[in-house]
Every structure is written in structure tokens, then in C-alpha cells.
């Protein structure tokens, strides 16, 4: 793996493995808690990866013993209302950035993903979790209900399970996360990095244009009533069918050969 020339960061590392960009949260002593500065760096790095389009897939992971433990409570005690608004505005911008960039973003989760860390995992397009990983929204236990994590969590799992997690603050296992839709895959702890990278490279075999079209369409249609979703999706698919890569892919299938993507 090689470092990407995306600028110097204090709280994250950005590397690459061929077509895969790897963003590592690098505050292991804080279990990668999301300070304001940390979130701003994630927004900057992910935004640049999205704009430059040099990579087809992004892996988001954490250094040290945990994926992400949530917000950095040490900077939240005794703050003014303006700080809290800025903090949660920035957190929302981070989550929206993850889902708005054209590349699929895979969360590689180990240790804990709690509170805003659970929100971060739930927001990513896919989640590969180690068997020992735990997911939770424990804010209720410290008097700060996980209201913003609730947005992502309630869109990933059913209402009853989301409320169970939010109201009790109890964590769930990786296997429970898989059953309830919070994780995409669960793998042995010692295979987490290899399996996540394997999945990323498999996805990267597709046309980057098609991946971007599909990701954008998924998030737009998912909140629409079914009739409107079909109306939107058929227009997307019509335009997609006209694209160079769709024509190439269909011809390659009929000719029994490997397609050569032009990424448009």
C-alpha cells in the first residue's frame, strides 16, 4: 500500500491499494473519537477522493483497538450552544459526504462502533465486521440520547431493534448486526483486513461510472414511495443503458469476452 498525496493530516491516514483508497482514523489513544478537527479532516479527504475520481472504492477503518467510539466527550463538557451546533452540523456533513461521493464506502469495523461511531458505520454503503466487533448507541446511559446516530441506525435496521438499542444503550454483536441489517458481512477477526480489501477490489472491477450511477440512484429512490421510485429508476436505467460502458458491457457479455471499461 502507498500513501496518497492528499495533504498532511493530524487525525487520519490516507493510503491506496490500486483502485482502492483507504482512509484510516488515526486517534487510537482516543479509540478514534470524532473530535471536530477529526471530522473536518475526514470530510476533506473523502470529498477530495470523490472529486478526483482516481479511486473506485473507499475503505474507512480505525487504527488501534476500536473502529470509532463516537464523539469526543472531552471537548463537549461545558461548551456553548454554538459549539454543539457546529459539532453536529459537521457530523451531519460528514455523513452526507460519505453517501454523496461517487465511490462506494466500506466500513471495516473492529472493536467497537458506538454512538456516532455506530452512526458512521451505519452511514457507510457496506459494513464488513470482525466477529468480535460490537455496535451500540449508549448515549442514554450518560444523559445524551443518540439522536443523530438514530437517523442512520433507523434507516439500517428495523424500528423495534433500533429503539431497543437506543433506549437501553446495550451493544449488539456483529452477528446480531448482520441479522438486523447493520452489517453486510461478518468475518473472523484475523481475516478482517484481507476480506474487506478483497470485497473492495471485487467491486472495483466494475465501471466507476456505473458504480456512481447506482450509488446515487439507490439513496435517491430508497425514501420514495414505490410508484415514484420506479418512475425515477426507469429514467436512470434508460440513461445508463445509453452510456458507453453499458453498451460495452452488453456487447462483451454477448461476445463472451471481458469488457474494457471507459468509465463513462
Based on the domain organization, do 214 and 135 belong to the same domain? no
The CATH number linked to 236 is 1.10.12.10
What pTM was computed for the model?
0.96
* Same domain as 213, residue 190: no
Position 2 scores a pLDDT of 61
- Enter the C-alpha cell of residue 139: 448515549
Say if CB 133 and CB 111 are below 8 A apart: yes
* Per-residue pLDDT reduced to its tens digit, 163-190: 999 999 999 999 999 999 999 999 999 9
CATH number of the domain within which 13 lies: 3.90.226.10
For residue 8, the model assigns a pLDDT of: 79
For the chain, how many structural domains are there in total?
A: 2
- Pairwise CA distance, residues 68 & 151, whole Å: 17
Q: Specify if 57 maps to a domain.
A: yes
Question: Do 56 and 128 belong together in one domain?
Answer: yes
pLDDT at position 99, please?
A: 98
Selection from 145, 148, 90, 156 nearest residue 123 by Cα: 156
Domain that holds residue 163: 2-204
Both 120 and 190 in one domain: the answer is: yes
**Structure confidence at residue 258 (pLDDT):** 96
User: What's the DSSP call for residue 221?
Assistant: H
Mark whether 241 and 134 lie in a shared domain: no
Does residue 160 carry a pLDDT above 60? yes
pLDDT at 128 over 70: yes
Q: In Å, how far from its chain's centre is CA 176?
A: 19
Q: What sign does the dihedral 151-58-39-89 (CA atoms) show?
A: negative
Task: Tell me the mean pLDDT in the region 224-238.
Answer: 97
- Give yes or no: residues 246 and 130 share one domain: no
Does position 141 have pLDDT exceeding 70, yes or no?
A: yes
Residue-level pLDDT at 213? 97
Rounded (5°) CA angle 190-196-200: 160
Amino acid at each position: 500500500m502507498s500513501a496518497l498525496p492528499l495533504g498532511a493530516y493530524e487525525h487520519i491516514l490516507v493510503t491506496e491499494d490500486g483502485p482502492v483508497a483507504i482512509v484510516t482514523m488515526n486517534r487510537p489513544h482516543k479509540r478514534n473519537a470524532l473530535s471536530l478537527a477529526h471530522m473536518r479532516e475526514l470530510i476533506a479527504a473523502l470529498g477530495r477522493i470523490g472529486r478526483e475520481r482516481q479511486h473506485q472504492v473507499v475503505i474507512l477503518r480505525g487504527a488501534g483497538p476500536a473502529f470509532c467510539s463516537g464523539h469526543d466527550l472531552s471537548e463537549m463538557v461545558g461548551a456553548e450552544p454554538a459549539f454543539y451546533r457546529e459539532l453536529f452540523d459537521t457530523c451531519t456533513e460528514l455523513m452526507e459526504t460519505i453517501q454523496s461521493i461517487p465511490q462506494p464506502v466500506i466500513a471495516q469495523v473492529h472493536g467497537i462502533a458506538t454512538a456516532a461511531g455506530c452512526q458512521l458505520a451505519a452511514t457507510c454503503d457496506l459494513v464488513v465486521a470482525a466477529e468480535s466487533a460490537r455496535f451500540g448507541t449508549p448515549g442514554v446511559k450518560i444523559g445524551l440520547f443518540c439522536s443523530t446516530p438514530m437517523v442512520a441506525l433507523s434507516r439500517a435496521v428495523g424500528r423495534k431493534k433500533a429503539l431497543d438499542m437506543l433506549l437501553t444503550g446495550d451493544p449488539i454483536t456483529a452477528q446480531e448486526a448482520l441479522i438486523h441489517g447493520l452489517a453486510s458481512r461478518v468475518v473472523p477477526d484475523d481475516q478482517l483486513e484481507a476480506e474487506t480489501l478483497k470485497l473492495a477490489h471485487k467491486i472495483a472491477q466494475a465501471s466507476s461510472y456505473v458504480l456512481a450511477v447506482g450509488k446515487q440512484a439507490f439513496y435517491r429512490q430508497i425514501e420514495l414511495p414505490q410508484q415514484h421510485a420506479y418512475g425515477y429508476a426507469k429514467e436512470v436505467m434508460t440513461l445508463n443503458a445509453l452510456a458507453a460502458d453499458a453498451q460495452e458491457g452488453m456487447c462483451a457479455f454477448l461476445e463472451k469476452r471481458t469488457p474494457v471499461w471507459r468509465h463513462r
